[in-house]
């Protein structure tokens, strides 16, 4: 007798009728006594935003690497075949399973007799227990780690099942469920080769994201496309967080421009220098400005020593302060304001003269130690009348944000158009249709955390 398949799902919401989808599925296989035999879990790309991420904790970056349910379906059907399905609040999970299988053209009927609900069974085996999985586990003495993760909840539910079976394995309901599952058939689908489950944290880099660039040691002039890279970097750093999606776009832009890793690192040092020059315009650095420099440095693969060097170079004299301010602008053509500094290049000796105290830190023998001259970066600002779009389940009610945006003179819009200035997302890697459209149009997608700052400096005129 095959035993039980304990299942748990994490979803984008509560109802497939409202277009909610599965974002994670886990199955724990047990024998007829409830002893664990195997377990399986994968994220699922829901092809939409992830809903309340503060509840399930799944990132859009991770699910962007995950298979869709159409790919997962054959593996899941094989795991469930011949087994009694068990879930906590089983009607919720089976409703989503029916909807997802139906969406890929595989309508399934799940026999309620072949499906057991540990929440309903608590009335028999834990008479004083309320409905929640956590409290049921506590009363039964079952470990419940990883709440609101599919695998953590499936393991806990399997523990409840084993506890129930230990209390009374002769109850007729068990035999009835096994008999019903033996006659129920799941779609017999060919399992594709090469499928690997995708788990939480899959998008987390093992090294810095710049490791995706080639390590060219040859020193070549910066192409004018370097300004295009910097313009994209401006957008990516608008919220001081280079998202998984933005990392991919930056790597692609660097490759298209013919920039190797050493050149990109040189541009990043120059970018930090440009920010340091602006911060020092009043002759001092505030704690907030120092924190901002460190935040940008961390996103670009630099550390505290790089920040200190950038500040020292920025403070070294008027030469740097007189650099042109017509570099890469948002939505602008390449300006040619980027060029390598040092080793005989135009302007190099003068630019480096103030950095001698750093022991030549700005001049490496190869480009990897050099610092590109980067013009002052444009400050992104919204103007009255600009259209903005919000997407995803925000930490604050969306209506509150829209009310504040209108009070600041902005126009919250329901859909992304080419007039949209910025999309505010619950997750900057959002897979929502709005976020995908914004990226196609080259419109920045930023996190909710930056919205308050943008609202606080809306410009009266259209000059940005």
Give me the pLDDT at residue 378, please: 86
User: Shortest CA distance to 50 belongs to which of 59, 42, 41?
Assistant: 59
Give me the pLDDT at residue 221, please: 59
Give me the pLDDT at residue 207, please: 80
Q: Is the pLDDT of residue 420 over 90?
A: yes
Q: At what angle do helices 261-279 and 304-314 cross, to 10 degrees?
A: 60
pLDDT, mean over the chain: 85
pLDDT digits (tens, 9 = 90+) for 187-226: 777 777 778 999 999 998 778 888 877 664 444 456 667 8
Give me the pLDDT at residue 338, please: 38
User: How many Cβ atoms sit within 10 Å of the Cβ of residue 211?
Assistant: 12
- Give residue 345's pLDDT band: very low, low, confident or very high (50, 70, 90): very low
Mean pLDDT of 293-313: 95
Give me the pLDDT at residue 188, please: 74
Give me the pLDDT at residue 339, please: 37
Half-sphere exposure of 420 (CA within 13 A, CB side): 26
Give me the pLDDT at residue 317, please: 54
Q: Is the pLDDT of residue 124 over 70?
A: yes
Q: Is the pLDDT of residue 328 over 50?
A: no
Mean pLDDT of 219-235: 78
Q: Which has the higher per-residue pLDDT, 281 or 211?
A: 281
Least confident of 21-25, 104-108, 142-146, 460-464: 460-464
Q: Would you say 12 and 391 are in contact if contact means Cβ atoms under 8 Å apart?
A: no
Give me the pLDDT at residue 359, please: 33
Q: Which has the higher per-residue pLDDT, 438 or 324?
A: 438
Query: Using CA atoms, how far apart are residues 452 and 208, in angstroms rounded to an integer?
Result: 29
pLDDT digits (tens, 9 = 90+) for 45-78: 999 999 999 999 999 999 999 999 999 999 999 9
- Give residue 461's pLDDT band: very low, low, confident or very high (50, 70, 90): low
Mean pLDDT of 291-312: 96
Give me the pLDDT at residue 352, please: 31
Based on its alpha-carbon atoms, the radius of gyration of the chain, rounded to whole angstroms, reads: 28
Going through 101-141 in order, the beta strands assigned E by DSSP cover 115-117
Share of the chain above pLDDT 90, in %: 70
Q: Please give the model's pTM, rounded to 2 decimal places.
A: 0.79
Q: Would you say 26 and 41 are in contact if contact means Cβ atoms under 8 Å apart?
A: yes
| φ, ψ (nearest 5 deg) of residue 62 | -70, -45
Q: Is the pLDDT of residue 350 over 90?
A: no
Give me the pLDDT at residue 215, please: 61
Q: What is the DSSP string of 8-32?
A: EEEESSS-GGGT--EEEEEEEEE-T
Sequence-distant (≥ 6) Cβ neighbours of residue 150 within 8 angstroms? 8, 9, 10, 24, 25, 26, 41
Mean pLDDT of 132-147: 94
pLDDT digits (tens, 9 = 90+) for 75-100: 999 999 999 999 999 999 999 999 99
Give me the pLDDT at residue 222, please: 65
């Amino acid at each position: 007798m095959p035993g039980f398949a304990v299942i748990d799902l994490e979803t984008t919401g509560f109802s497939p009728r409202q277009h909610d989808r599965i974002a994670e599925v886990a199955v724990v296989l047990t024998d007829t006594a409830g002893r664990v035999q195997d377990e399986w879990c994968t994220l699922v790309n829901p092809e939409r935003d992830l809903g309340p991420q503060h509840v399930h904790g799944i990132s859009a970056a991770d699910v962007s690497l995950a298979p869709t349910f159409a790919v997962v379906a054959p593996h899941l059907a094989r795991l469930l075949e011949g087994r009694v399905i068990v879930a906590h609040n089983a009607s919720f999970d089976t409703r989503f399973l029916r909807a997802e299988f139906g969406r890929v053209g595989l309508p399934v009927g799940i026999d309620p007799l072949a499906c057991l609900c540990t929440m309903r069974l608590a009335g028999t085996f834990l008479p004083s227990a309320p409905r929640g999985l956590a409290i049921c586990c506590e009363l039964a003495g079952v470990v419940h780690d990883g709440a609101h993760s599919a695998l953590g909840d499936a393991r806990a539910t399997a523990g409840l099942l084993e506890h129930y079976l230990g209390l009374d394995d002769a109850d007729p309901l068990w035999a009835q469920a096994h008999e019903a599952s033996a006659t129920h058939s799941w779609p017999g689908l060919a399992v594709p080769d090469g499928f690997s489950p995708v788990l939480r944290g899959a998008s987390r880099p093992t090294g810095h994201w710049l490791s995706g660039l080639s390590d060219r040691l040859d020193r070549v002039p910066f192409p004018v496309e370097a300004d295009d890279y910097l313009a994209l970097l401006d957008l990516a750093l608008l919220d001081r967080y280079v998202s998984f999606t933005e990392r991919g776009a930056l790597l692609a832009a660097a490759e298209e421009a013919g920039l190797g890793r050493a050149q990109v690192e040189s541009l990043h040092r120059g970018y930090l220098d440009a920010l340091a020059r602006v911060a020092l315009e009043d002759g001092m650095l505030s704690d907030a400005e120092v924190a901002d420099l460190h935040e940008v440095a961390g996103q670009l693969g630099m550390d505290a020593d790089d920040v200190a060097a950038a500040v020292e170079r920025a403070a070294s004299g008027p030469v740097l302060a007189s650099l042109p301010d017509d570099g890469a602008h948002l939505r602008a053509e390449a300006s040619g304001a980027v060029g390598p500094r040092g080793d005989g290049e135009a302007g190099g000796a003068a630019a480096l003269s103030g950095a001698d105290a750093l022991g030549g830190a700005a001049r490496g023998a190869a480009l990897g130690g050099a610092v590109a001259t980067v013009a002052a970066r444009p400050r992104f600002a919204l103007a009255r009348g600009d259209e903005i779009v919000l997407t995803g389940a925000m930490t604050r009610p969306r209506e509150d944000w829209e009310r504040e945006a209108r009070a600041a003179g902005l126009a919250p819009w329901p859909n992304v158009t080419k007039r949209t200035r910025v999309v505010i997302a619950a997750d900057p890697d959002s897979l929502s249709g709005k976020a995908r459209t914004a990226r196609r149009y080259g419109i920045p997608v930023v996190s909710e955390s930056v919205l308050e700052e943008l609202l606080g400096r809306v410009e009266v005129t259209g000059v940005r």
